[in-house]
Amino acid sequence: MVRFFAMGTLVPADAWSPERVVDVALARDLIETQFSNMAPVRAEPLGLGWDNTAHLVNGAWVFRFPRREVAVPLLEREVRLLPELSALLPLPIPNPEYVGRPDGRFPWPFAGYRFLSGQTACRAHLSEDQRDATVEPLAHFLATLHSFPVERAVALGARDDEIGRLDVPARSVKARATLTELKNVGLLTAAHAQRLERVLDLCSGIVPQAAPVLLHGDLYARHILLDDLGKPAGIIDWGDIHIGNRAVDVGLAFEFFPPAARQKFRRAYGALDDTTWRLAHFRALYHAAYILRYAHRVSDANLASEGMFALLNVADAAD
């Protein structure tokens, strides 16, 4: 997950230093102590995010341990919301079947999920035809998620958007600064940046109006799993789950799919008013620009390639 501050600034590099790190030995001890049926535990590092350290356990489970206190409520929301969602959604999602409690060695809760197989879409080097083939399953997935009763989601711990993801005036300022940085480091040509600036101009003044829904909140190529045939196999990383405007998730239509597939997505998803569609376009620009900036800073070539694909598509939609 790429975590943003409230005004849209990427977390600076030194802020990635974690407050707590659960290494393999501690992960093994915590799991064996609290879940004796898992013993003997074989653990190996799986991934490091801003929010969590992940270990693959016994070749079949992923255990995630918060790396900083701010991530604890995010994990707690996943623990409450994902079990119910996993029974309803048309694609697999992580389901926290083990919930660990704090103890003297680690002060926060942690969770274990069955390992979901597949590779992230940002590593799949998809052709446009392969992307097109994912439109309908991903659109149906989002339509199902967005139809989940908001009252029930709130009862399970979902919160409103607390960081203004669709605050168009504030996010536009940050997006323009990011586009300038991307141009200065040679990732965008002046012409490409100018086309993206035009998108921001076209989106100015849009006010979200649609009724709030339950959202994934950070859906892009890194959080989409694909099977060996390139078909969607799961949706991961739910730390940004919240109640908000569906345009946040629908931005995927502009980031991930080729231009010719957008209307196919819109038909498969169902009714989307023009204001929401325009907001999704804005969200896609803002999000893709920051993803490309982040990928460049951490030298992630696959993610950078995906960010460039997304920004080219976003620009094309303004023509």
The confidence score (pLDDT) of residue 173 equals 96
Note the pLDDT of residue 307: 94
Single-letter residue type at 151: E
Least trusted range by pLDDT, from 164-178, 187-201, 304-318: 304-318
- The pLDDT assigned to 318 comes to 62
pLDDT at 210: 84
- Listed in sequence order, the residues at least 6 apart from 19 whose beta carbon sits closer than 8 Å to its beta carbon are 67, 68, 69
Distance, C-alpha 193 to centroid of its chain: 24
Kindly tell me if the per-residue pLDDT of 1 is higher than 60: no
Tell me, yes or no, whether 234 and 125 share the same domain. Answer: yes
Kindly report the average pLDDT of the chain as a whole number. 91
Residues 143 and 182 in one domain: yes
* Last residue in a domain, options 94, 114, 134: 114
Collapsing DSSP states into helix, strand and coil, what is residue 219? coil
Last residue of a domain, one of 114, 142, 160: 114
**Which distant-in-sequence residues (6+ apart) come within 8 Å of 147 by Cβ?**
213
State the residue range of the domain holding 37: 13-114
Based on the domain organization, do 240 and 126 belong to the same domain? yes
- Of 114, 149, 170, the one marking the end of a domain is 114
Report the CATH number at residue 70: 3.30.200.20
Is the pLDDT at 10 greater than 80? The verdict is no
Min mean pLDDT across 34-43, 96-105, 201-210 is at: 201-210
- Shared domain check, 239 and 176: yes
How confident is the model over 79-125, as pLDDT tens digits?
A: 999 999 999 999 999 999 999 999 999 999 999 999 999 999 999 99
**pLDDT confidence of residue 147:** 97
Q: Is 42 left (phi over 0), alpha (psi -120 to 50) or beta?
A: beta
Record the pTM: 0.90
Segment 64-82, tens digit of pLDDT: 999 999 999 999 999 999 9
Number of structural domains (the chain) is 2
Give tens-digit pLDDT for 149-190.
Answer: 999 999 999 999 989 999 999 999 999 999 999 999 999 999
